[in-house]
Structure 1
Amino acid sequence: MALAGRLRPNLSLVQRILRNEPISAQRSSPGFAVSEVLRNYATASQPKESKPKVPLALFGVSGNYASALYLSATKANLLDKVETEILDLVEASKKSPTFSQFIKDLSVPAETRVKAISEICSEAKFSDITKNFLGVLADNGRLRHIENIAKRFLELTMEHKKEVKAIVTTVIPLPPEEEKELKATLQDIIGQGKTVKLEQKIDPSILGGLVVEFGQKVFDMSIKTRARQMERFLREPINFDSL
């Protein structure tokens, strides 16, 4: 059976999720919640005793798709594998201008998109969860949102694993010992119960020092920022009356 044929039963449901429409035409309430649709999507074909839940409430197109993928991957006990596969696809789109253009081009017929994605997933040996999910995106013309969906999906998997992402920006890569020390410091800040996941970025424009983005906080200890602060200080008029 063709991939598009297997995906068809889920397609109308995902469309209704994105439009925030009721599952049943008999339901008259116009405010049927997206969260309820997601619960129906995730639990329609599973026993009542098993009800995976999203660890964070996400909204919008990317949030809805990411939540649906999370529930499906959790139910199949393939969360780590699906996460790796989705991130691999995003990375491939960044490295290949042709592939990037393909997933963004809405003029490509849906049937062509679905067939191409199916072949790519088969060649990459992706799980059926990922393959079917990407097929839905392709059929709905939503492949262009894959990077944002992946980011939102990563938020869910990190919350599930009790991980906190910290991004450290430096001019050159941190030596292993300094990276270990920084990670230990951040771990002390968040305490027990969650684990710091450190990501390094290189940006020569900061001139030196480092910038740490951690949760909702930004610790800017770069030479560039310090130089700007010093410049503002030197431009301030001196109050000789206070001397």
Structure 2
Amino acid sequence: MAGEDHPVSGMAGRYAGALFELALEEKATDAVRKELDQFDALIAESADLNRLVRSPVFGADEQLRALSAILAKAGISGITANFLRVITTNRRLFAVRDMIRAYRALVAKNRGDVVAKVTVAEPLNDQNKEALKGALKSVTGGKDIDMDVTIDPAIIGGLIVKVGSRMVDTSLRTKLNSIKIAMKEAR
């Protein structure tokens, strides 16, 4: 495989790597990414679709029928649709969101972009996303930023940003834990 230095690993990484290689050959990496992002957004927005994707209760045939209808309605076709059908047939649809994240990382690495893993308590609006991208761009020497945003209500507020080996944790949970530790030491 041409990309032995892929920044992803495991089963999701292998599938994402194969998709990336195919998209690269077809000169469709950005189009595939856009459609994968669209599918990822559909999963995030629909509890029913999320259940269909993750639940082992549904058989491959059921998942494939439902997926085909969803892809047709969303206008997702070509390489992306075929990829989603293959992982469904192979009973790997449960890992599709990890595959999408891995694919994004491969596209970003290929472009020379920097991937920032951002964890927030609630979804960021477009204005906040752009402000965060701008701040990260200035810290990374002007490189384009590809943000991988995860929503985790457990952090209560603030955000956690990881770029390469650097991490900044301004979450309210971490601040509360620090106060708790300081209070115990003060006794």
Return 5+ residue gaps in structure 1 as ranges.
Answer: 1-38, 40-51, 239-243
Structure 2 residue aligned with 1:63: 13
Contact 2:156 2:172 in 1 (8 A): no
Inter-CA distance 154–188: structure 2 relative to 1 (3 Å threshold): same
Inter-CA distance 82–54: structure 2 relative to 1 (3 Å threshold): farther
CA distance in 2, matches of 1:55, 1:116: 35
Inter-CA distance 65–173: structure 2 relative to 1 (3 Å threshold): closer
SS for the counterpart of 1:219 is: strand
Amino-acid identity (%): 23
Q: How many residues end up aligned between the 2 structures?
A: 184
Structure 2 residue aligned with 1:78: 28
CA distance in 2, matches of 1:146, 1:114: 14
Structure 2 residue aligned with 1:216: 165
Structure 2 residue aligned with 1:119: 69
Return 5+ residue gaps in structure 2 as ranges.
Answer: none
Inter-CA distance 234–137: structure 2 relative to 1 (3 Å threshold): closer
Alignment of 1:67-216 (within 5 A): 67-166=17-116, 167=118, 169=120, 180=131, 183-191=133-141, 194-197=143-146, 205-206=156-157, 211-216=160-165
Indicate the structure whose relative CO is greater, using CA pairs within 8 Å and at least 6 residues apart: 2
**Whose radius of gyration is greater, 1 or 2?**
1
Shift of 1:71: 0.8
Structure 2 residue aligned with 1:241: none
TM-score between both structures, scaled by the size of structure 2: 0.73
Contact 1:110 1:139 in 2 (8 A): yes
TM-score between both structures, scaled by the size of structure 1: 0.59
Contact 1:55 1:156 in 2 (8 A): no
